């Protein structure tokens, strides 16, 4: 009876939406040379995009897109939402790490297409659509970075929008339009949230569908080597082997994202404080190489605009300049070598940028405990708030240990605050002994660090 019922259902659907022909269109795609693991990257990108859509929708149900609610809503997601038990933190982790993984996969997929020469005639338009999808992916990553509205997101976006402002002529206009004014505020968050949740998803759907339609119209390029007649003789349909390979690739990337979400949840720093001029801002990792160029190249416009613009121009013009039918990377040594050098330089710059960021002070448990006593005995709690307790004359120190100030910087701040902030009202604690200053720096460096007890108790 069950099989009979299923056949009636299939017949019903086939009569109304031509289900069999639809499934045939999706699964009976011929693959020159047969199924290969090298073909799984496109499906992995699509899976990651769908994962971003699903987790993004879940998060949007709880997110408050205003400066006075954004941080609280994200904190709520991390600790209380979705029935508790860390489910909200997991979903946010899937979205956070899914974004990074999507940036990597889109780049890898585009690199593979380049190495295999699959951008050449008649696939020029499909390549351009892929370049647009890369740009959309980077834009989605950038706009989503601000939404938690914590210190890291706020100051990282300050860095990113300042980079945009360096673009000649249109840069200042774009910077002001994106921010909604001079500084980051309610309009900035509203702009980023609207772009991230409404504009970009619509564009992703449009260009992904366009990409798939072109792909199905002209078919896969197949391996870059091999006799065309032999490849045609060994061709397979998309189902079942390639479907299984793609499914295993999707499962593998999901396990990686889920593992990172469980082991390295994104976390949340203290709420964004525009007056915290001591915070050391860093961009998202995928913009590290541009950030490093700012330190090395003068004028800055060459690093922020010159090289990225050159890369973009090359990507767009590539299929129209390289018209030779030869697809093998071994017979295009100059193009491949230049690409590898550029990628190597970008990775080297990114590593240098990460190493150049301020490192957190190594903590000594006994010294932290002694520093807590010095902090209270010196009256610091009367001017500074720590986890909701204390005064409000000075800045909130609840997350000070995450800023990355060195112990030397902190000691100078204790002894002569005016050296860092000329108009600081902070009194000098030069009467403290060197070991007391060390202990105090250790305690302040522990504030906000996970794994340490509540300093107010």
Beta carbons of 199 and 104 less than 8 angstroms apart: no
Gap between the Cα atoms of 264 and 258, Å rounded? 10
Question: Tokens representing 29?
Answer: 């795609």
Gap between the Cα atoms of 384 and 395, Å rounded? 6
How many Cβ atoms from other residues are within 10 Å of residue 220's Cβ? 20
Transcribe 292-345 into DSSP letters: HHHHHSSSHHIIIIIHHHHHHHHHHHHHHH---S---GGG-HHHHHHHHHHHHH
Query: What is the pTM (predicted TM-score) of this model?
Result: 0.73
Beta carbons of 146 and 269 less than 8 angstroms apart: no
What is the CA 38 to chain-centroid distance, rounded? 25
What is the CA 386 to chain-centroid distance, rounded? 30
Beta carbons of 374 and 446 less than 8 angstroms apart: no
Beta carbons of 43 and 249 less than 8 angstroms apart: yes
Gap between the Cα atoms of 124 and 298, Å rounded? 36
Gap between the Cα atoms of 424 and 195, Å rounded? 39
Distances, alpha carbon 215 to alpha carbons 180, 233, 290, in Å: 39, 21, 33
What is the chain's pLDDT, residue by residue, as a tens digit (457 residues)?
444 555 788 888 888 888 787 777 777 787 877 778 888 999 999 999 999 999 999 999 999 989 889 999 998 888 765 555 578 889 999 999 999 999 999 999 999 999 888 888 888 999 999 999 999 999 999 999 999 998 888 888 887 787 777 677 777 888 888 888 777 888 999 999 999 999 999 999 999 999 988 888 887 777 777 666 666 667 788 788 888 999 999 999 999 999 999 888 888 888 887 766 556 667 788 888 877 776 666 555 565 666 777 888 888 998 888 888 888 888 888 888 988 988 888 888 888 777 766 556 778 888 888 989 999 888 888 888 887 788 888 877 876 776 667 788 788 888 888 877 777 788 888 888 889 998 998 898 888 665 554 444 4
Question: Tokens representing 17?
Answer: 């939406």
The domains of the chain, with CATH numbers, are 27-356 (1.20.810.10), 365-446 (1.10.760.10)
Residues whose CB is less than 8 angstroms from the CB of residue 305 and which lie 6 or more positions away in sequence, other chains included: 166, 167, 168
Distances, alpha carbon 399 to alpha carbons 184, 306, 369, 450, in Å: 21, 37, 17, 10
The H or E element that residue 257 is part of is helix 243-263
Helix (H, G, I), strand (E, B) or coil at 237: strand
> Quick one: how many helices (H) and strands (E) in the chain?
19, 4
Each residue of 256-295: b (16+ CB within 10 Å) or e?
ebbebbeeebbebbbbbbeebeebebbbbebbbbbbbbbe
CA-wise closest residue to 79 among 64, 94, 92, 69: 92
CA-wise closest residue to 345 among 307, 310, 304: 307
Using alpha carbons only, what angle is made at residue 47 by residues 45 and 52, rounded to the nearest 5 degrees?
Answer: 95
Query: What are residue 411's phi and psi, to 5 degrees?
Result: -65, -45
């Amino acid at each position: 009876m069950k099989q009979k019922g299923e056949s009636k259902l299939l017949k019903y659907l086939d009569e109304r939406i031509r289900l069999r022909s639809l499934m045939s269109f999706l699964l009976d795609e011929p693959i020159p040379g047969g199924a290969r693991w090298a073909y799984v990257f496109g499906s992995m990108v699509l899976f990651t995009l769908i994962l971003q859509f699903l987790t993004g929708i879940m998060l949007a149900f709880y997110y408050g897109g205003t400066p006075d609610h954004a941080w609280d809503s994200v904190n709520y997601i991390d600790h209380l939402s979705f029935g508790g038990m860390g489910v909200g933190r997991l979903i946010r982790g899937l979205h956070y790490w899914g974004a990074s993984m999507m940036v990597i996969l889109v780049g890898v997929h585009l690199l593979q297409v380049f190495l295999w020469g699959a951008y050449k005639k008649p696939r020029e338009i499909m390549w351009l659509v892929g370049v647009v999808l890369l740009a959309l992916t980077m834009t989605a990553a950038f706009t989503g970075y601000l939404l938690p509205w914590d210190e890291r997101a706020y100051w990282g976006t300050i860095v990113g929008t300042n980079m945009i402002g360096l673009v000649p002529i249109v840069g200042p206009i774009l910077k002001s339009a994106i921010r909604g004014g001079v500084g980051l505020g309610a309009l900035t968050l509203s702009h980023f949230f609207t772009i991230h949740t409404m504009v970009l998803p619509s564009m992703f759907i449009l260009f992904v569908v366009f990409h798939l339609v072109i792909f199905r119209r002209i078919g896969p390029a197949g391996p870059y080597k091999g006799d065309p007649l032999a490849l045609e003789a060994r061709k397979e349909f998309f189902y079942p082997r390639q479907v299984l390979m793609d499914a295993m690739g999707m499962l593998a990337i999901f396990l990686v994202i889920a593992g990172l979400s469980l082991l390295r949840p994104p976390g949340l720093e203290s709420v964004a404080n525009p007056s915290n001029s001591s915070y050391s801002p860093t961009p998202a990792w995928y913009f590290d190489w541009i950030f490093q160029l700012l330190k090395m190249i003068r004028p800055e416009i060459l690093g922020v605009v010159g090289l990225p613009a050159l890369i973009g121009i090359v990507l767009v013009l590539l299929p129209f300049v390289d018209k030779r039918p030869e697809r093998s990377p071994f017979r295009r040594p100059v193009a491949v070598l230049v690409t590898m050098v550029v990628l190597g330089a970008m990775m080297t710059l990114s590593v240098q940028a990460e190493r150049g960021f301020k490192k957190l002070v190594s903590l000594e448990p006994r010294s932290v405990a002694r520093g807590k006593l010095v902090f209270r005995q010196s009256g610091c709690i009367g001017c500074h708030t720590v986890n909701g307790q204390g005064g409000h004359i000075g800045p909130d120190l609840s997350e000070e240990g995450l800023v990355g100030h060195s112990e030397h910087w902190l000691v100078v701040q204790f002894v002569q605050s005016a050296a860092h902030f000329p108009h600081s009202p902070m009194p000098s604690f030069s009467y403290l002994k060197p070991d007391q200053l060390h202990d105090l720096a250790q305690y302040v460096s522990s504030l906000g660090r996970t794994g340490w007890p509540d300093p107010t108790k």
